[in-house]
Amino acid sequence: MFEMTIFLYLFFFCQHFTMLLLLLYICATKLFGFIFKCIGLKRKTAEEYDKGSIIKNPNVPHNPSLYKKPFVESFEETPLMVAVLTYMGYGILTIFGYLRDFLRQWNIEKRHIARERDEQKDFVPLYQDFENFYNRNLYIRIRDNWNRPVCSVPGPKMDLIERSTPNYNWTFEYTGRVLKDVLNLGSYNYLGFAENKGPCADAAIEATQAYGVGVGSTRCEMGNLDIHEELEQLVARFLGVESSMAFGMGFATNSMNIPALTGKGCLILSDELNHASLVLGARLSSSTIRVFKHNNMQSLEKLLRDAIVHGQPRTHRPWKKILIVVEGIYSMEGSIVRLPEIIALKKHYKAYLYLDEAHSIGALGPNGKGVVDYFGLDPKDVDIMMGTFTKSFGAAGGYIGGKKELIDYLRCHSHSAVYATSMSPPVAQQIITSMKIIMGEDGTTLGADRLRQLHENTTYFRRKLHDMGLIIYGNEDSPVIPMMLYMPAKIGAFGRQMLKKNIGIVGVGFPATPIIESRARFCVSAAHTREMLNTALDAINEVGDLLQLKYSRRERPLPSLGWMSDESLLKD
């Protein structure tokens, strides 16, 4: 007892002594600082060091003069309790994963997965890394939420084939039933052009009857049809650039053209959350790649200044060119790029800009011309405008637009143009028809109606989800809406519960997002009517209460006065 008392006294004394020392140190530094300031010996502040930089304060995210309308993005922080419980859930799953791997290794349990053959047991192991562990023990347990076979046109409603699994998702069997009219909140169908009737489908049928479906050659050899030339001139007119080129596959557009544009001795500054195609293209080009924090202009500016001041790593020669690679809308976050600031930076530091508008072309802007239109900027400021036709035009393929010299260079030097088959004629015709509808050149107001409907749907859906108390990421104007789920079991549970209510959603987990930030991603379409959205919102509300998904800690408005909240949405 006596020893314990002495120990306790010593412990408290040491604790208080260190705290006193800390206090003394802080007072001394402040005192000296005050004395030095009075004398006139000042240290330079951070602003004075960065005297030449043009992005001043990171907390005020933009120069108000550069943005013509308010730029509202929100990424609410993960609540601490939720993060702790998510880690705990992953810990339990990992322990059981090790247990199951042990049982499989010792043949106590039947093995369904790929494994090395017995003759290869002394080779370097193929399936021991974390990705394969995660695949075997976490992904496969809830795998029935992905790869669901769709047996109709993936428009606002679709038909799914029902599957059952006798052995916990290792193999699937068809039950023979088809789930009809499942509400589709996962397809990238922003303007509703994924349809099998209407002017686009009729034009595509005529093109098939005229040209066939296969082209049978690459663009450089015999695969250059007049429909491709028409498409490229139309795309150039749509974007407001001098010239453009269309490719058969959107992923290949990025990964095969960035190597043609940059090489050794060039610098690529790419955003943290860029798509895999951009990362692959940057790596294939063998340029130096530096990554800046997501949508953070201070980080980008610091990298630009360091690159110009210090040059290439060992020789300190100036970089041959500096290419900034960003996306229009980031589909996992729902955030829109800060384009006015990037263009100001690029002009100031004389770098080039590569803008990937896969999700934003057709979906943003008053005329549907993408993120450049949305901010009201000049398309000639962006050196390389890339995009895909998959999302808003209901087709497949990608394009690159820019100056005539650039596109003529790409026609000869791009891998995709030289080696890959060119775009199929009915697909090209679908793009031509849908683009004319969006521009209003077919004589109807269908394009303008769809753009307005998409904007209304986006605002309505986001407002209602926000008011329910769910955590939604991203910009208020982006039609991609990620909703946070956090816990791994809730990804599976949410998908299954929504399918029971006849709604199909896409859940996203670890390799595509950080490990605790798993989410469900909704893609709003112009083809969704208000009733469909209301059905979806009621279902999300019920499932959100059932699964306790309403993590948001913001203040919520009162649920009454429905007529007043609807009116405030129609102010435009």
**Least Cβ distance, residue 519 to other proteins (angstroms):** 16
Q: How far is the CB of 498 from other proteins (least distance, A)?
A: 15
Q: Each residue of 184-197: b (16+ CB within 10 Å) or e?
A: bbbbbbbbbbbbee
Bridge pairing between strands 384-388 and 352-356: parallel
Among residues 58, 526, 556, 74, which one has the least CA distance to residue 334?
A: 74
Smallest gap from Cβ 100 to other proteins, in A, equals: 8
Closest CA to 201 of 437, 433, 454, 409: 433
In terms of Cα–Cα distance, which of 330, 386, 334 is closest to 355?
386
Distance CA 566, CA 572 (A): 12
Axis-axis angle for helices 425-439, 446-468 (nearest 10): 80
Q: What is the DSSP code (8-state) at residue 421?
A: B
Q: Please say whether the beta carbons of 206 and 429 come within 8 A.
A: yes
Nearer to other proteins, 137 or 429 (CB): 137
Q: Which is nearer to other proteins, 38 or 81 (CB)?
A: 81
Q: C-alpha angle 456/457/460, rounded to 5°?
A: 85
- CA 111/CA 109 separation, integer angstroms: 6
User: Residues in the site for other proteins, rule: CB under 8 A?
Assistant: 1, 85, 88-90, 92-93, 96, 99, 138, 141-142, 168, 487-490, 492-493, 546-548
Tell the smallest beta-carbon distance from residue 326 to other proteins (Å). Answer: 36
Q: Which is nearer to other proteins, 479 or 492 (CB)?
A: 492
Minimum distance of other proteins from residue 93's CB (angstroms) = 5
CA 181 to chain centre: 27
CB of 544 to other proteins, least distance (A): 13
CA pair distance 114, 126, nearest whole angstrom: 10
**Three-class DSSP category at 567:** helix
Residue closer to other proteins by CB (options 99, 512) is 99
Cβ nearer to other proteins, comparing 450 with 490: 490
- Mapped onto helix, strand or coil, the DSSP state of residue 174 is strand
Asked if 232 contacts 440 with a C-beta cutoff of 8 angstroms, the reply is: no
In the complex, what is the shortest distance from the CB of residue 113 to other proteins, in angstroms, rounded to a whole number?
A: 16
Q: How far is the CB of 487 from other proteins (least distance, A)?
A: 6
Q: Which amino acid appears at position 245 of this protein?
A: M
288 φψ region: left (φ > 0), alpha (ψ -120 to 50), beta (else): beta
CB 394 within 8 Å of CB 384: no
**Cβ distance to other proteins smaller for residue 138 or 322:** 138
Question: Of the two residues 1 and 39, which places its CB atom closer to other proteins in the complex?
Answer: 1
The alpha-helical segments, DSSP class H, found in 414-506 are 415-419, 425-439, 446-468, 488-500
Q: Find the shortest distance in angstroms from Cβ 490 to other proteins.
A: 6
Among residues 75 and 139, whose Cβ is nearest to other proteins? Answer: 139
Tokens of 517: 């930030």
Residue showing tokens 């100056």: 403
Judge whether 475 and 334 are in contact, CB under 8 Å. yes
Rounded Cα–Cα distance for residues 376 and 536 (Å): 33
Crossing angle, helix 425-439 and helix 226-239, to 10 degrees? 30
Q: Which is nearer to other proteins, 189 or 497 (CB)?
A: 497
Which residue, 142 or 303, is less far from other proteins as judged by CB? 142
Exposed, middle or buried: residue 489 (CB in 10 Å: 0-12, 13-18, 19+)? middle
Shortest distance (Å) from residue 69 CB to other proteins: 40
Task: Please enumerate in sequence order all residues whose Cβ is within 8 A of that of 301, keeping only pairs 6 or more positions apart, or say none.
Answer: 53, 54, 55, 345
Q: What is the DSSP string of 520-531?
A: EEEE--TT--HH
For the CB of residue 489, give the shortest distance to other proteins in the complex, in Å.
4
What is the DSSP-derived secondary structure letter of residue 76? P
Whichever of 142 and 407 has its CB closer to other proteins, that residue is 142
Query: Residue 566 carries which side chain, given as an amino acid letter?
Result: D
* Nearer CB in complex with other proteins: 142/200: 142
Nearer to other proteins by C-beta: 90 or 522? 90
* Nearest distance, CB of residue 142 and other proteins, angstroms: 6
What's the min distance (Å) between Cβ of 92 and other proteins? 5
Residue closer to other proteins by CB (options 89, 440) is 89
* Cβ at position 479, least distance to other proteins in Å: 29
Contact 371, 360 (CB under 8 A): yes
